[in-house]
Structure 1
């Protein structure tokens, strides 16, 4: 099996694996033992990179999700030393609107994992009357200057929002965000591959981090029930129509549908990493196979074969951001078929 390659992040020579494991509600939906196995498989393949956050509860009566706490214990059980993996934490920008609140939320995130630092911090969605860009930039500067964070990024921000926080970062004396985590995949390309993001990438050296690349399993036709991100552009009907053709193409190439879909994302030179929510050994091994497919078929050929499947073209405004939908809006999240 091909090893996971690395990509540069920032301008200081830092390298990260092109595959990160984690995302939303990954480790609170499987057994502890399987979580340990998945982490070990990822590390052995060169993907010692984990995206972890403090998330709301999935079930009534829970205060919060234990997914991040489970990860902290599982990576210890997998025998992976703290210096041997890259940790990325989500640090939500709280309502108080102060640098102290930003730092406190970061401290909470790493405390729950069982450490005191993270190589990367990602600030979450901006909604409603969000914290001023200057405060967010100063919060990033405080974390970087303390030595507990090396790089910072944003999650589902628009290109315009990133330019504003980058200007604030310059005033705060900290480098601009190094990555933007976006809902990006084979069928959803309008924001990550369109303007105005192209200009931000060129001007700031920003890298794209793909999340929800399989649409919570919907792209694979998996059936089940769980909360996941919404359907920007209302393209799920188009996905249903395209799925048989994609399966046939995967068969021709001797790969799985998941590997075909993930390999497309890996062809993007502006990508720093792809975040997957694998929670079983079967899933992580399937995901890792995308690197074999890329090596065997090549990026140019894959992009040529998959060009017709840009399904949100003309349906999503490339200048928008998913985070522009308020958290309390029912459209923000949807229950979609998945496993």
Structure 2
């Protein structure tokens, strides 16, 4: 894709004039499930379209395994794609362990960027809070250390509740650190209760927080794809409703001259509080399809899309808008459940 076909617009992040592409490529176990040459082409296609924004982390599906090499593969693939480090935005996931201090948070970040092949990232995203996590003050101190050292420009959180976000923002303020720039949330055309709920809207107003949408296609389930890897659970139990709604959504997409993936992503792009959508595109066809969401949005318009898709808020009344994945009680078996791949 030639640079003249750039189509991905940018959104502001933080109060320092920083802009990020509205499409982020990466997420959980993306780069280790496809041929290397294909990964290189996906990265190059995304960058040429203006989506030079990548989400990378050190992942382990099971604490007993040695972990995925998806981050290492990304580091080599972005080099092979001919993309210089200064020419893309990198966000790195950092997991908040149950013990350890700010030094451990910095050390974990350093390990992550070392595996990628760099020494810094524009954004660090602190992962899900599980059980007795380290105190908010420690997380804020770790974030402050990374920002002050120049390792990162902004910090963010992943799947935190409104109360948790406010608590860590207050701790950050006491250290002289600005609030988190965004919250990465499970958010898509059928799953809106948290990202579009009034509690989160209040945090946006008070802290200038943005939302970054993850699971925008429900791990492919929204499109009806068979599951070939562990994916996130199903808060609110809406997958049965989605099965029923999928034919109508697909027909609407075709009526608008697009695909179901494009319609789903275009809806999320209508949210003015959004900074970007994370997609796990693994093939050139997938990333090209995802990029078409920007054309669909431009053609149909945000107001019309929101009107047409209003009936498809499937988790409304099923998910507490003040909650997060981490707020599920520790003794609830759903908390750690993953939707396993289809046989």
Q: Could you say which TM-score interval applies, normalised by the shorter chain? A: over 0.9
> How far is 1:329 from its partner?
6.2
Q: Secondary structure of 2:221's match? A: helix
Which position in structure 1 is the counterpart of 2:67?
A: 64
> How far is 1:334 from its partner?
2.2
> How far is 1:225 from its partner?
3.1
Which position in structure 2 is the counterpart of 1:53?
A: 57
CA deviation profile, 1:267-297 (whole Å, cap 9, x unmatched): 0000000000000000000000000000111
Which of 145, 148, 158 matches 1:145? 148
Which position in structure 2 is the counterpart of 1:203?
A: 206
CA deviation profile, 1:8-45 (whole Å, cap 9, x unmatched): 00000000000000000000110100000000000000
Which of 6, 17, 20 matches 1:16? 20
> How far is 1:335 from its partner?
2.2
C-alpha contact 1:217 1:337 (8 A) present in aligned 2: no
C-alpha contact 1:127 1:326 (8 A) present in aligned 2: no
Provide the C-alpha distance between the structure 1 equivalents of 2:33 and 2:342, rounded to a whole number of angstroms.
Answer: 13
Q: Secondary structure of 1:126's match? A: coil
1:112-191 map, 5 Å: 112-191=115-194
**Is 1:307 matched up with 2:327?**
no
C-alpha contact 1:23 1:275 (8 A) present in aligned 2: yes
- Provide the aligned length of Structure 1 versus Structure 2: 338
Please, what is the CA RMSD of the aligned residues? 1.7
Q: Secondary structure of 1:219's match? A: helix
Residues 79 and 328 from structure 1, CA distance in 2 versus in 1: closer, same or farther, beyond 3 angstroms? farther
> How far is 1:251 from its partner?
1.1
1:1-339 map, 5 Å: 3-57=7-61, 62-325=65-328, 330-331=333-334, 332-335=336-339
4+ residue runs over 3 A deviation: 325-330, 336-339
> How far is 1:338 from its partner?
7.3
Provide the C-alpha distance between the structure 1 equivalents of 2:115 and 2:42, rounded to a whole number of angstroms.
Answer: 20
Q: Secondary structure of 2:195's match? A: helix
Q: Which runs of 5+ in 2 are unaligned?
A: none
Q: Give the alignment's TM-score, normalised by structure 2.
A: 0.95
C-alpha contact 1:222 1:338 (8 A) present in aligned 2: no
Q: Which runs of 5+ in 1 are unaligned?
A: none
> How far is 1:226 from its partner?
1.7
Q: Secondary structure of 2:71's match? A: helix
CA deviation profile, 1:189-222 (whole Å, cap 9, x unmatched): 0000002101000000000000001100111111
